[in-house]
Structure 1
Amino acid sequence: MAPLSGKVCIVTGATRGIGKGIALQLAEKGAKVYITGRTLDPPKDSSIGGSLRDTAREIEARGGTCIPVQCDHSNDKDIEQLFETVKRENDGRLDILVNNAYSAVNAIFSSMGKPFYEQPTSMWDTVNNVGLRNHYICSVLASRLMVPRKQGLIVNISSAGGLRYLFNAAYGIGKEACDRMAADCGFELRKQNVAFVSLWPGAVGTETVLDKFGGGAADTIDSENVPQRYQDKKKMLELFQKGETPEFAGQCIAALASDPDVMPMSGKILTTFDLGQKYGLQDAPGHAPMDMRSIKLGLLQGGYTWIAALTPGFVRVPKWLLSLGGNKF
């Protein structure tokens, strides 16, 4: 029997990228997966494509069960209707919620290098309405289904941008809030046996990111507001091309959902690299999750190649020391 057979899941923002990869993996492992997004049919004017029907067809081609639900995650009524549908069609059952919906990628890339005070004030809502506020609303509605059954898993897709500066101010604020949401909501859900975690993927070669860094790959972003390691677009393209596939995060979430001892991890930040090590997961050939705690990798990204060559790959930054990188005290 498939490890997630009988499970009911919601994956928000699953038309492409990490959301699509997660939906593919959960369905392949036997779950009934509801996928959401604003685009039901493939757009005719997009070079990277992506739609709910595309994802659903790919899931069904693998033998999985998928229910596409067109949903604008900036519209509370759409969100409420989504959860009512899942409740009605599954006798109140929901086992896994993955908060992945995000609508700010284009805005972030277009404003790269501009300080927050030179960006329109609407940048906050562009980044954090769907990417943060919606995650909270979905988590509230999911918990109302999970708590009565005393089981469930909620996952916020976040990033290391919640620890150190990355892309822009609104992005980092939103990602740290996603991490704190998992911690505080996880604290309140612990007695109800419902787990809530924040997941940090590494560099993921999504269609959108490869398209953005691939356009004029030889260019350099010259700005004091962008960390040096992110300025060379050619190097960034190579990093994402060799990084995780969009489905690796899905493997990690499927493993978490299958783990009877998941509760000790609730309320914490988890990385795809660590989960891959814990559960013995393998990404597609030629791709590898990024170890954010690797000292060797940090030295390489900082340009200290000769020191990196002398540093063993297994030497890692302790988690307590990594947390100090937030520089808040």
Structure 2
Amino acid sequence: MKQLHEKVAIVTGAGQGIGKGIALCLAERGVKVVCVGRRIDPITATAEEIKANGNEAFAISCDVADRARVKEVVQETVKRFGSIDVMVNNAQTLPGKATVEDTTYENMLLAWQGGTIGSLNFMQECFPYMKEQGEGRIINFASATGMFGYAGQLAYGCNKESVRGLTKIAAKEWGQYNITVNVVLPGAESPAAKEWAKKNPEKYAEIMQSQPMKRLGDPLTDIAPVIAFLAGPDSKYFSGQSLVIDGATSIMP
């Protein structure tokens, strides 16, 4: 079984926020990281930061909903680094807020293509390589938005709950190949969260008051280390689980 520093990981949405934190954290632990995102400049910046710290990475643009491009990303990863050991499906298109009656088909499709379908695309393309080598780690991303049902977030929330369903079923089917599949639900200080806080300071202060730790998580130091655990050898018997990483704000029953 490979140690963490011997592994290769693909991280989607690696240009900012949680995805960037994960890419940097894994690289610090010796993982070779493939930085994926729709826009080339942010992911290139992440890859260059990793290389400046003496670790290995490259950037490649990809819309996760484009199955042909996803296949190319996985093939290029194996070509350059020799394997694919860890798949982090962090990318997610944000469809916007709307009530149930006002949610459009287009927004539903946008959320699902950028979330559940995009995650499945990468999972299916990585699967043959992980099966052949007898080991793999898949880490998906969901949200408390869907788990607890936040009003105004139908497209995003139900898509994120479907990611949890995808995770559980894949964990059952792929466990025989020593492929673990887990899903995390983070509460982090993302660029979007920071921008929202600037526009809604009073509401942000109210939310922080109700947060047990009085802060949102830091992508690099709070969220990413949990991903490193899921990517490493110590989690080899941990699969099919939902991990909420938000400082006890959301506690699953």
TM-score by length of structure 1 reads: 0.70
The structure with the greater share of residues assigned to helix is 2
Q: Which consecutive unaligned segments of at least 5 residues does structure 1 have?
A: 42-50, 219-231, 274-288, 294-318, 323-329
Q: Is the 8 A contact 2:103 2:154 kept in 1?
A: no
Greater relative contact order, per chain length (Cα 8 Å cut-off, separation 6+): 2
User: C-alpha distance in 1, partners of 2:236/2:139?
Assistant: 12
Matching residue within 90, 94, 107 for 2:84: 94
**SS of structure 2 residue aligned to 1:211:** helix
Tell me what 2:163 maps to. 178
1:191 maps to 176
Give the CA deviation at 1:71: 1.1
Give SS of 2:18's match.
helix
Q: What percent of counterpart residues are identical? A: 25
Secondary structure in 2 matching 1:98: strand
Alignment of 1:195-234 (within 5 A): 195-201=180-186, 203-218=187-202, 232-234=203-205
The answer for the alignment partner of 2:130 in structure 1 is: 146
Partner of 1:5, secondary structure, is helix
> Offset at 1:90?
3.1
Residue from 230, 243, 252 that aligns with 1:256: 230
Q: Distance in 2 between matches of 1:64 and 1:246?
A: 19
Deviation of 1:237 after TM superposition, in Å, equals 6.5
Give the structure 2 partner of residue 15 of structure 1.
15
Amino acid at match of 1:127: A
Correspondences of 1:1-329 after superposition (within 5 Å):
4-41=4-41, 51-91=42-82, 93-104=83-94, 107-108=95-96, 111=97, 114-166=98-150, 167-201=152-186, 203-218=187-202, 232-236=203-207, 242-247=215-220, 248-263=222-237, 265-272=238-245, 289-293=247-251, 322=253
1:235 maps to a residue whose letter is E
Deviation at 1:241, TM superposition (A): 7.9
Pick closer, same or farther for the CA change 1:119–1:139 going to 2, 3 Å.
Answer: same
Work out which of the two has the higher radius of gyration on C-alpha atoms and give 1 or 2: 1
Q: Distance in 1 between matches of 2:76 and 2:156?
A: 31
Letter in 1 for 2:120: Y
Q: Tell me which protein shows more strand as a share of its residues.
A: 2
Large movers: runs of 4+ above 3 Å:
236-241
Report the CA distance between 1:158 and its aligned residue: 1.1
Relative to structure 1, is the Cα distance of residues 23 and 169 closer, same or farther in structure 2, using a 3 angstrom cutoff? Answer: same
- In the alignment of these two chains, the number of paired residues is 247
Q: Provide TM-score, normalisation by structure 2.
A: 0.90
CA-to-aligned-CA distance 1:258-314 (integer Å, 9 cap, x gap):
234522x211112336xxxxxxxxxxxxxxx33522xxxxxxxxxxxxxxxxxxxxx
Find the aligned partners of 1:57 and 1:102 in 2 and give their Cα distance: 23
Report if aligned partners of 2:103, 2:155 keep a CA contact under 8 Å in 1: no
SS of corresponding position for 1:251: helix
> Do the aligned partners of residues 261 and 82 (structure 1) sit closer, same or farther apart at CA in structure 2, a change above 3 Å counting?
closer
Aligned residues of 1:37 and 1:70 also touching (Cα < 8 A): yes
Give the CA RMSD over aligned residues.
Answer: 2.1
Report the CA distance between 1:198 and its aligned residue.
0.8
Gaps of 5+ in 2: none
Counterpart-to-counterpart distance in 2, 1:38 and 1:183: 27
The amino acid that maps onto 2:219 is P
- Cα deviation for residue 142 of structure 1 reads 1.1
